[in-house]
């Protein structure tokens, strides 16, 4: 969908900001471009909407060479989100969001209806926030308006330059999560720039790690963390990359252990006898539909009645597909030796620290065996 072919940008003072870059972002894919300050990320991005013209090479959007497209028309197909947001201070949030629809001549009512829809999408109630002015919002809320505004004319492509850079770490994680949820729904082709490897890893389907104007590695987050292609990448992703992998490795059903279970309405004595035979000291308690209720200790079941009478509710669970990091967090938070894994409400099994470690190994080994390197030209890496 976005393709760079041997693109170079040299500024008049001789600075080579981007050096023979080849890179392809597939339709509906979110590629993060990560690297230290001054390595050419913003320059790369601004060449896509022709705010900067390349010195050499070509950029294609949906198969068309953008040099042949009128810049104004081009920009209508590209949403652009920047760190400083750049909202108009004297316009309401609703009108700010409707900026592009107004520009391209939509009727006011249609533009405003669309803006309200988008504010809703980014988690801002349009009746509350629509009439406000930008200085009546928090930094995180302004950033959301920036995203809503970029999506207003429903462009197929979104460019985001350090979009969550200006907010504190907690709000930043929230915005990242919301953005991922939104991206699930709208599936834009996104090129997102950040200097933060954690953010790149969390958000990207693939990550391009930038050195000085060059791509050092272009691959999935797991591969970049697991098998850095160059010493530069290894240094950039950091010594704690094993820990970062926790954020990108998903819990799979095959990672789970199957502990003994008991039904809520089962006679306690029968459950106790079964647990005794299995040598188990506790069981996971499920309802008739197989949904998680909680847990019960084997000793408590001796008192008779049904399992329900002795069962405890349990809040330490995570959905299947969640990152291992989330399961680890829940274990620590509840001081538990295991965490239940659910598919919707259905209980699938439990994740233990040993299984968590195994899952982490599985993900490292998979990368070591080599997985797709994507569609990048490695010429620049080989020359370096
Ligand atoms: N207009 C300009 N003229 C000269 N050099 C520039 C200009 N804009 C950026 N640069 C230089 O190009 C390099 C890349 O800048 P930039 O793309 O903004 O990096 P990043 O976004 O990764 O921080 C830097 O060395 C920067 O100083
Ligand atoms: Mg920049």
Rounded to the nearest 5°, which phi and psi values hold at 210? -95, 135
Give just the sign of the alpha carbon dihedral 303, 334, 203, 148.
positive
335 lines ligand 1 (CB under 6 A): no
Task: Using pLDDT thresholds of 50, 70 and 90, give the confidence band for residue 345.
Answer: confident
| DSSP secondary structure code for residue 64 in this structure | E
DSSP 175-208: HHHHHHHHHHHH--EEEEEES-HHHHHHH-SEEE
pLDDT per position as a tens digit, 20-52: 999 999 999 999 999 988 999 999 999 999 999
Rounded distance between C-alpha atoms, residue 309 and residue 324, angstroms = 33
pLDDT per position as a tens digit, 162-178: 988 777 777 788 888 88
Average pLDDT of the residues in 109-125: 91
Rounded distance between C-alpha atoms, residue 342 and residue 349, angstroms = 7
pLDDT per position as a tens digit, 121-166: 888 999 999 999 999 998 888 888 988 888 887 889 999 999 887 7
Q: What percent of the chain has pLDDT over 90?
A: 50
pLDDT for position 128: 95
CA distances to 6, 51, 85, 188 from 70, in Å: 22, 12, 24, 22
Task: Using pLDDT thresholds of 50, 70 and 90, give the confidence band for residue 365.
Answer: low
pLDDT per position as a tens digit, 268-326: 999 999 999 988 899 999 999 999 999 999 989 888 899 999 999 887 899 998 888 88
Average pLDDT of the residues in 341-346: 92
Q: Structure tokens of 200?
A: 């790149």
Quick check: 82 pLDDT over 90? Answer: no
Residues recorded for the chain? 384
Q: Structure tokens of 131?
A: 């009439």
Task: Using pLDDT thresholds of 50, 70 and 90, give the confidence band for residue 367.
Answer: low
CA distances to 57, 101, 254 from 371, in Å: 29, 42, 20
Quick check: 376 pLDDT over 50? Answer: no
> What SS3 state is found at 8?
strand
> What SS3 state is found at 350?
strand
pLDDT for position 27: 95
Q: Whose CA is nearest to atom 14 of ligand 1?
A: 40
pLDDT for position 170: 76
Q: Which of 163, 188, 27, 186 is nearest to 117 (CA)?
A: 186
Lowest mean pLDDT among 66-75, 99-108, 119-128: 99-108
pLDDT for position 337: 80
pLDDT for position 13: 94
More confident residue, 47 or 105: 47
pLDDT for position 237: 85
Task: Using pLDDT thresholds of 50, 70 and 90, give the confidence band for residue 380.
Answer: very low
Q: Structure tokens of 46?
A: 């601004």
53 lines ligand 1 (CB under 6 A): no
Task: Using pLDDT thresholds of 50, 70 and 90, give the confidence band for residue 209.
Answer: very high
Could you tell me the strand order of the sheet in which 56-61 lies? Answer: 16-25, 2-10, 56-61, 64-65
Quick check: 10 pLDDT over 80? Answer: yes
More confident residue, 324 or 362: 324
Residue 10 Cα to ligand 2 midpoint, Å, equals 16
Residue 7 Cα to ligand 1 midpoint, Å, equals 15
Q: Which of 284, 286, 315 is nearest to 298 (CA)?
A: 284
pLDDT for position 165: 78
Task: Using pLDDT thresholds of 50, 70 and 90, give the confidence band for residue 12.
Answer: very high
- Residue 357, CA atoms < 13 Å, CB-side half-sphere: 3
Q: What percent of the chain has pLDDT over 70?
A: 94
13 lines ligand 1 (CB under 6 A): yes
Quick check: 235 pLDDT over 50? Answer: yes
Residue 180 Cα to ligand 2 midpoint, Å, equals 22
Q: Whose CA is nearest to atom 4 of ligand 1?
A: 11
Residue 193 Cα to ligand 1 midpoint, Å, equals 14
Mean pLDDT computed over every residue of the chain? 87
Could you tell me the strand order of the sheet in which 261-263 lies? Answer: 261-263, 282-286, 292-297, 312-313
Task: Using pLDDT thresholds of 50, 70 and 90, give the confidence band for residue 368.
Answer: low
Q: Structure tokens of 206?
A: 């693939």
Q: Whose CA is nearest to atom 24 of ligand 1?
A: 38
pLDDT for position 174: 80
Neighbours of 325 (CB within 10 A): 18
Task: Using pLDDT thresholds of 50, 70 and 90, give the confidence band for residue 333.
Answer: confident
Ligand 1 atom at minimal distance to the Cα of residue 40: 17
């Amino acid at each position: 969908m976005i393709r760079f072919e041997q693109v170079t940008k040299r500024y008049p003072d001789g600075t080579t900001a981007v050096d023979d870059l080849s890179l392809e972002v597939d339709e509906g894919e979110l590629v993060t471009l990560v690297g230290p300050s001054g390595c050419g990320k913003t320059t790369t991005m601004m060449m896509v909407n022709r705010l900067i013209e390349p010195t050499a090479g070509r950029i294609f959007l949906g198969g068309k060479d953008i040099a042949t497209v009128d810049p104004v028309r081009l920009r209508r197909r590209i949403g652009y989100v920047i760190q400083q947001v750049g909202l108009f201070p004297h316009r309401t949030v609703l009108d700010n969001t409707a900026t592009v629809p107004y520009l391209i001549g939509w009727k006011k009512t249609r533009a405003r209806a669309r803006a309200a829809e988008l504010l809703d999408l980014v988690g801002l109630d349009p009746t509350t926030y629509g009439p406000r002015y930008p200085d009546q919002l928090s930094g995180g809320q302004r950033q959301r308006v920036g995203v809503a505004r970029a999506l207003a004319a429903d462009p197929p492509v979104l460019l985001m330059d350090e979009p969550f850079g200006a907010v504190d770490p907690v709000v930043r994680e929230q915005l990242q999560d919301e953005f991922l949820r939104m991206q699930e729904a709208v599936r834009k082709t996104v090129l997102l720039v950040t200097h933060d490897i954690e953010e790149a890893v969390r958000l990207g389907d693939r990550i391009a790690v930038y050195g000085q104007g060059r791509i050092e590695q272009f691959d999935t987050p797991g591969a970049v963390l697991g098998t850095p292609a160059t010493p530069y990448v290894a240094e950039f992703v950091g010594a704690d990359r094993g820990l970062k992998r926790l954020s990108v490795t998903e819990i799979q059903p095959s990672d789970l252990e199957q502990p003994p279970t008991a039904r809520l309405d089962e006679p306690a004595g029968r459950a106790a006898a079964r647990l005794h035979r299995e040598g188990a000291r506790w069981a996971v308690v499920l309802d008739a539909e197989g949904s998680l209720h909680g847990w019960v200790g084997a000793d408590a079941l001796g008192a008779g009645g049904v399992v329900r009478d002795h069962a405890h509710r349990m809040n330490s669970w995570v959905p299947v597909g969640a990152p291992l990091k989330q399961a680890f967090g829940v274990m620590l938070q509840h001081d538990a030796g295991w965490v239940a894994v659910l598919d919707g409400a259905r209980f699938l099994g439990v994740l233990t620290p040993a299984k968590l470690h195994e899952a982490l190994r599985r993900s490292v080994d998979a990368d070591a065996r080599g997985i797709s390197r994507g569609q990048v030209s490695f010429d620049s890496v080989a020359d370096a």
